[in-house]
Amino acid sequence: MSELRKKILGDLRNPLFRQGYALMANTVITGVLGMGYWLLAAHFYTSEEFGRGQAVITAMRLFASLTALGFVGALARFLPVSGRRTPEVILRGYGLAAATGGVAAVGFLLTLPLWGETYSVLAGFGPGLFFLGSVVVWAVFTLQDVVLTGLRRATFVPLNNLIFGLVKMGLLVALAGALPEGGVFVSWVIPTALALIPIQWLIFGVVVPRHVRQADAAQEPPRLREMGRFLAGDFPGALSILAIVYLVPVVVATQVGEATFGRFAMAHTLASMIELLAMNMAVSLTVEGSFERARLAENCRRALQRAFLIVTPIIAVALLGAPLILRIFGAEFAEEGTTLLRLMSLAVLPRVLIEVYLSALRAQSRARALATVQIGLAALVLVSTVVLFPHFGVNAVGYGLLSSELLMALLIFGKLRKILKYDETERSPVTQGSSGAA
């Protein structure tokens, strides 16, 4: 026990692990509270209201993330070295993400009849305006966690989401009688908006000033042109990954009934949380790779080891216990979602390799390689899902994801091995904004 305690304390002194563990803890907290939230929703709302709430929340997250998720890699890469320009970089990210998401949401609302009966609840000026505001709020909410991570303050993220999750659950129950048709969506959005206030005060009132004071005065902050070149490569790839995470469920919602989608979305959400554990350590790796380029190979090896150590037993539990886990929500959830949960959980294993490779590319500013891998992966997933959907229904999402990520992991494995073997100081230097092949 003493040795284990020393190992844990040693890990917590390492920014790579401290940040990664904080983000993983946040995923666990979010996952547990999320299960509680959807259990309450399944109990207090009808299956149609449950599925409709899931579908509207998925659409909101899709449009809010159009730019927000595209900026995650850039903020993780450049915030550590932004120095005196840190506030400007953050505000530009917030503004562009909110504006792009808002425009996309307006387009969605103007074409609402094309998106199926499930989304008819958003028809009308009032519901449409509320949806538009929720997209803007979620865009900022999405970025604030990566801002804290990029400034090496990820330990605040779990606390914020713990409070957010508890308030969300309480409001969900309170609205069950008063607002049955929109209670699920409203209970999700209102706590999100309230959570922005204290976190933005923390970021701009405490964390950013401290980061600016501690920055190396001799270090020149990254220029907008340099960041633009990076985004030009990373953003199209990030949009492609966004299609996997959010567009696929939205498309599924247009093809199946509300109750079926609710059961699909529950299995999809649980599996996505396991996938987030792998991505958490990868985001921390990008940040530390930007702070300490010379130790990139060592940090990649450590990130891989810890990520596999943590996600492997969780995947095993998901594979063995999928029917029991989903049965908590009802027998229909277990019957329709078990195969999907198992397939998506298994796909996390190759995803660990892919995410560590992508994070290393971001730390090296290899924008072209980033775009190639991410666009290639998204194309594989989308094409395989569409081809398999007539034969396997919603399980096609799982089969498509697993086969595509296995293939991509094999394709990038040789490149990843080269990164793992040599530290930056032992290799020819990679210039900022350079682009390598995938």
Q: Which two tokens stand for residue 132?
A: 């538009």
pLDDT tens by residue, 34-52: 778 888 888 888 888 888 8
Measuring CA to CA, which residue among 328, 246, 336 is closest to residue 38? 328
Is the per-residue pLDDT at 436 higher than 50? no
pLDDT tens by residue, 360-383: 887 777 778 878 888 899 889 888
Give the mean model confidence (pLDDT) for residues 55-68: 80
Between 6 and 125, whose confidence is greater? 125
Give the mean model confidence (pLDDT) for residues 131-158: 84
Give the mean model confidence (pLDDT) for residues 173-197: 84
pLDDT for 9: 53
pLDDT for 207: 85
CA distance 418 to 83: 31
Is the per-residue pLDDT at 229 higher than 50? yes
CA distance 238 to 233: 9
Is the per-residue pLDDT at 407 higher than 90? yes
> b or e along 336-371 (b: 16 or more beta carbons within 10 Å of the residue's beta carbon)?
bbbbbbbbbbbbbbbbbbbbbbbbbbbbbbbbbbbb
Count of beta carbons in the 10 Å neighbourhood of residue 313: 9
Is the per-residue pLDDT at 437 higher than 50? no
Domain coordinates in residue numbering, the chain = 13-426
pLDDT for 425: 45
Opening angle at CA 343, ends 408 and 399, nearest 5: 60
Measuring CA to CA, which residue among 101, 72, 99, 75 is closest to residue 89? 75
Give the mean model confidence (pLDDT) for residues 108-115: 86
- Distance (Å) of CA 189 to CA 63, 200, 378: 14, 17, 29
pLDDT for 427: 44
pLDDT tens by residue, 82-109: 777 888 888 888 888 888 889 989 998 9
- For the chain, what percent of residues have pLDDT higher than 70? 79
Is the per-residue pLDDT at 409 higher than 90? yes
Is the per-residue pLDDT at 411 higher than 90? yes
Helices (H), 111-182: 125-150, 156-178
pLDDT for 218: 59
pLDDT for 405: 92
Q: What is the pTM of this model?
A: 0.64
CA distance 415 to 399: 26
pLDDT for 391: 87
Is the per-residue pLDDT at 428 higher than 50? no
Measuring CA to CA, which residue among 20, 26, 1, 50 is closest to residue 356? 20
Give the mean model confidence (pLDDT) for residues 308-313: 84
Average pLDDT, the chain: 79
pLDDT for 432: 38
pLDDT tens by residue, 263-284: 887 888 888 877 777 676 666 5
Is the per-residue pLDDT at 136 higher than 70? yes
pLDDT for 359: 80
pLDDT for 430: 38
Is the per-residue pLDDT at 142 higher than 60? yes
CA distance 296 to 290: 9
